[in-house]
Amino acid sequence: MNTRVLISFLLLVLLPLTSFSEEKFDKIRCNGKLIEAGDSLQFVIENCGDPVDRRNWGNQYETQKHLYFKAPGESGCYYTFFIDDKIVASVYRGYQGCP
């Protein structure tokens, strides 16, 4: 019984940690350029355009940013997470996931 509890606990702790690993990074292609983990916010904006939800995205003192970018040629959006102006996570959301 203790082994099952331990395994269940480990799964609950470890699985969310891998949810935003680079393997699960949904890559975005904008203007023929592939957006990958580690690319700068400026590079993403130059190639994909301004974020969909423009409220408060230009705050220069904010080190963590949650932004949505329109998927090129699709009705959905990409949820992106930046730390120190470097993209660390990207998740494709359907049209219902856009703000």
Whether residue 38 has pLDDT greater than 90: yes
Whether residue 6 has pLDDT greater than 80: no
- Please tell me the predicted confidence (pLDDT) of residue 8: 62
Residue 78, CA distances (Å) to 6, 13, 16, 53, 97 in order: 35, 26, 19, 12, 8
| CATH T-level topology, domain 22-97 | Beta-lactamase Inhibitory Protein; Chain:B, domain 1 (3.30.1450)
In the chain, at which residue ranges do the beta strands (DSSP E only) sit?
A: 28-30, 33-35, 64-70, 77-83, 86-93
* Residue 99 CB-half CA count within 13 A: 12
10 or 48, greater pLDDT: 48
pTM of the model: 0.67
Whether residue 90 has pLDDT greater than 70: yes
- Please tell me the predicted confidence (pLDDT) of residue 52: 86
